Amino acid sequence: MIVDAAKRLVLAMAILGMAMSTVSAAPVPPDVLVRQTIEEVLEIVRSDERVRSGDVGRIAEVMEQKIAPHFDFPRMTRLAVGRPWRQATPEQRTALIREFRTLLIRSYASAFGMYNAIFVEYRPLRASSDATDATVNTLIRLPGGAQPVTVDYDMALTDSGWKVFDVRMGGASLIINYRNIFSQEIQRSGIQGLLDSLIQKNARDLSAAANKQ
């Protein structure tokens, strides 16, 4: 079930790079940031031969440089675990954030090159200029006449700029989806059981990726 849930973020992250390398006095508005950087990431997907060939090392490099820094993984993990987060020790919290981050990145990387034919429509931002929370709405048009997919990015303004803390595809929340899955695991075997399952899943994925090289 964790595998299926992880795939829900693949498209959303593949079209959202957040690749701003310079720091300005005022943060770039979230809708502008999304519009500018989506196109940059898609260009990498379409033109980088190593990415197109499935080079896991290169994909991971792009991921770490252009995407991962702009997702709030600690907040995402805390929200996904939900109320049981209070029961976790500091060590377990740190490990859960690390493993959840790894899960999302590896799931994303495994399908990074699949979205070289999508077209993105950007919806007007409905937020005031002084807002600290905003939702950026996009519509993803897929090739072959497939049904378009709405992708909404819930973002918050932090000390280091706007960061994504949830993604909703077709109205379905990534965080709520994971919370349901994690809740089942926690009920069966507790917080440590959830952590162990994430560690095992990531180890299997790492082994599978190594065997492909």
CB neighbour list of residue 148: distance below 8 Å, 6 or more residues apart: 139, 140, 141, 142
The one-letter amino acid code at 26 reads A
φ and ψ at residue 119, rounded to 5 degrees: -125, 135
pLDDT at 19: 40
**Dist CA 100 CA 107 (whole Å):** 11
For the chain, give the percent of residues with pLDDT over 70. 82
CA 145 to chain centre: 26
Band of pLDDT at residue 6, cut at 50, 70 and 90: low
Both tokens assigned to 183: 């809740």
pLDDT at 112: 63
CA 14 to chain centre: 8
Domains and CATH numbers, the chain: 2-212 (3.10.450.710)
CB neighbour list of residue 95: distance below 8 Å, 6 or more residues apart: 195, 199
pLDDT at 166: 95
Q: What is the pTM of this model?
A: 0.83
Average pLDDT over residues 57-85: 89
**Dist CA 37 CA 137 (whole Å):** 14
Antiparallel, parallel or unpaired: β 149-158 and 172-173:
unpaired
**Dist CA 106 CA 121 (whole Å):** 27
pLDDT at 176: 96
Which CA distances in Å does 111 have to 86, 87, 123, 141, 207? 34, 34, 25, 17, 17
CB atoms near residue 53 (< 10 Å): 10
φ and ψ at residue 73, rounded to 5 degrees: -65, -40
13-63 pLDDT per residue, tens? 555 554 444 444 577 889 988 887 778 878 888 888 888 887 777 887 888
> CA nearest 101: which of 134, 78, 131?
78
121-146 pLDDT per residue, tens? 999 998 888 899 999 999 998 888 88
Band of pLDDT at residue 66, cut at 50, 70 and 90: confident
Band of pLDDT at residue 210, cut at 50, 70 and 90: low
pLDDT at 9: 56
100-119 pLDDT per residue, tens? 999 988 777 666 656 667 88
Report which of residues 32 and 74 the model is more confident about.
74
Q: Are 28 and 162 in contact (CB under 8 A)?
A: yes
Q: Is the torsion defined by CA of 151, 68, 64, 197 positive or negative? A: negative
Band of pLDDT at residue 82, cut at 50, 70 and 90: very high
148-164 pLDDT per residue, tens? 999 999 999 999 889 99
